[in-house]
Structure 1
Amino acid sequence: MDDDDMNDMDDDALVLRTEGLTKRYGDRLAVDGVSMTVRRGEVYGFLGHNGAGKTTTLRMVLGLVRPTSGHATVLGRAVGRQDVTARVGALVEGPGFYPYLSGRDNLRSLARYQHLPRTDVERVLDLVDLTRRGDDAYKGYSLGMKQRLGVAAALLGDPELIILDEPTNGLDPAGMADMRDLVVSLARDGRTVLLSSHLLTEVQEICDRVGVIDHGRLLREAAVADLRGGITVRVRATPQDTALAVAARLAGPGGVRPLPGGALGVDLPASAAPGLTRALVTAGADVHEVAPSERTLEEVFFEMTTTPAPDTTTIKEPVP
């Protein structure tokens, strides 16, 4: 297969690609050279603290903000084209609707603009469980209901790419579970979902890959399982200085990290637990716990974003 054929295959597998996407507002660098890829049929989690550059990046991807440099393509075409926009649904920075219209009439207004039938309005109301409240005025909706109506608007026209910025904002636990199930079902039916969220437990459960952005830079893009790493060993032993010294000797100084509750995470395979236990006892430590452990996405995220970003190129996994 020659290079042109390989490039064509990559383009077919990708719904979204950005290359060096950058946005400056005066002296402030909001997004700094973001290069990311979203593959067809996956749920991609876009993670970052407030102000990290997530929303600005999403707005550039949607053609709502012009980048200072770099570019983005959606469904193989430049962003902002009408034929591309018709195939993308989005909820970014919260929904905005006419307050005195009902939820159903707000969606009907959007459907008329997109030349969609009224049956599509009923379809999306049912998807977000708002059929019974569809005739209520939007101004009387709770925050969670407003959020669900915003997601319904994003689903009008059955788009191929759905971009959701904090879709569970304002939802109660049951609503969050319903939203999670909806996102999973959308991907199962062949759609692609780009999801930004601060609820990392939810992201860990439903996303195939994630991109982590901090101070405008994409620090890492990888499968969730690869980002979390394999199973390691959790150790609780006293005195902790002794435990730390033993663990560092076996795993290397960079292979030990503090965990909540005074425990240590040691980058050794689970099979190394007996040897680690013997080494701790030989060193005079009292061993309280040695158990297999797997890092959560939340732990990895905070490890990555609470230290200064290295001045290196973005670490990315290759696109197959």
Structure 2
Amino acid sequence: MNAHDTVASTENLTKVYGDRVAVDKVTMTVRRGEVYGFLGPNGAGKTTTLRMLLGLIRPTSGTAYATSPVGALIEGPGFFPYLSGRANLRTLARSRGFDDAEVERVLERVDLAGRGDDRFKGYSLGMKQRLGVAAALMGDPELIVLDEPTNGLDPAGMADMRALVVDLARGGQTVLLSSHLLAEVQEICHRVAVINDGRLLREGGVAELRGGISIRVRATPEPEALAVAMRLAGDDGVQRTTDGALQLTLPPDQAPRVTRELVSAGIDVHEITTAERSLEEVFFDLTSGSTTGSTTGSTATKEAVR
């Protein structure tokens, strides 16, 4: 990868508070023009990592680099409650050397121009988050860092924020998005980094982390079906779900062969479909080492990231 394609990176980035290691030797790379998902449960070390990347706190060891200028929304927007959204942005713009035209541009960008004269304290949570993003967009920075931008939003607000992030990337900007919402990251991100307990577990493309498509089978009697499945996919290539189905790590074109082998063994096949792991299941596997299938993985992961 060309060095000019990197807009942010860390190498062995570490932050220690007393005897607690908040971030432990995190190495990651954000590429130009992508939506990069920084994924992990609350308390995993995401915000601390972003603060070090932005120079807001000093690392204990390791290095962090981000292109300049950078726009950021970290831990929610902070504005004067009795000023309007427009007045808040104008105050911020003057301190950063921008004119009122830039304020109007970013208000339009986040669809708040019509509510710009309303007081900030009267904004909904979604509007407050969008005003925070507007502040981050001032000066048209190449890199935009958003820390949990959909936190606390209702479904409509979450959809609006996702659409905005996608639109920013389509316009050529790079977005580093931290989130504990795995389905959200799966939907809009190009690459992701998975962090837990301060350690980076995996980094890569969403499709790469999710892995290939597998085959899901429900058949009886189950012990005999399991034996056939393990013969076809290997001992490590079969996972059992809580609803009695089997996940076989085989390409989908092997489904007819799996069906033939099961039927030849006198096994009744009730269902055979193809399935692809979600990021929820990937995260659960990475953080727990579980070998359960999709149903167990999804449920446990949802609990883990709340």
Q: Normalising by the residue count of structure 2, what TM-score does the alignment of the two structures yield? A: 0.90
- Offset, 1:129: 1.7
Q: How far, CA to CA, are the matches of 1:149 and 1:262 in structure 2?
A: 48
Check whether the contact 1:143–1:171 (CA below 8 A) recurs between aligned residues. yes
Partner of 1:270: 252
Q: How far, CA to CA, are the matches of 2:266 and 2:119 in structure 1?
A: 69
- Offset, 1:43: 0.6
- Which of 27, 43, 49 aligns to 1:57? It is 49
Partner of 1:317: none
Q: How far, CA to CA, are the matches of 2:88 and 2:289 in structure 1?
A: 44
SS at match of 2:243: helix
Partner of 2:180: 198
Computed over aligned residues only, the root mean square deviation of the Cα atoms, in angstroms, reads 1.7
Q: Give the stretch that moved more between structures: 155-164 or 254-263.
A: 254-263
Q: How far, CA to CA, are the matches of 2:201 and 2:60 in structure 1?
A: 20
Q: Give the stretch that moved more between structures: 167-176 or 147-156.
A: 167-176
Q: Give the stretch that moved more between structures: 126-135 or 36-45.
A: 126-135
- Offset, 1:11: 1.6
Q: How far, CA to CA, are the matches of 2:223 and 2:92 in structure 1?
A: 63
1:36 pairs with 2:36: no
Structure 2 matches for 1:87-126, cutoff 5 A? 87-126=69-108
CA deviations over 1:274-306 (Å, ceiling 9, x no partner): 221222234443211111211122221222123
- Offset, 1:65: 1.2
Q: How far, CA to CA, are the matches of 1:260 and 1:119 in structure 2?
A: 57
Q: 1:210 to 1:260 in 2, by over 3 A?
A: farther
SS at match of 1:35: strand
Check whether the contact 1:281–1:287 (CA below 8 A) recurs between aligned residues. yes
Q: How far, CA to CA, are the matches of 1:105 and 1:258 in structure 2?
A: 58
- Which of 150, 170, 174 aligns to 2:152? It is 170
Q: Normalising by the residue count of structure 1, what TM-score does the alignment of the two structures yield? A: 0.86
Identity %: 70
SS at match of 1:186: helix
How many equivalent residue pairs? 290
SS at match of 1:299: helix
1:241 pairs with 2:223: yes
Unaligned stretches of 5+ in structure 1? 1-8, 76-83, 309-320
Aligned-partner residue type, residue 107 of structure 1 = L
Partner of 1:316: none
- Which of 199, 211, 214 aligns to 2:196? It is 214
Unaligned stretches of 5+ in structure 2? 291-306
- Offset, 1:234: 1.2
Q: 1:260 to 1:98 in 2, by over 3 A?
A: farther
Partner of 1:257: 239
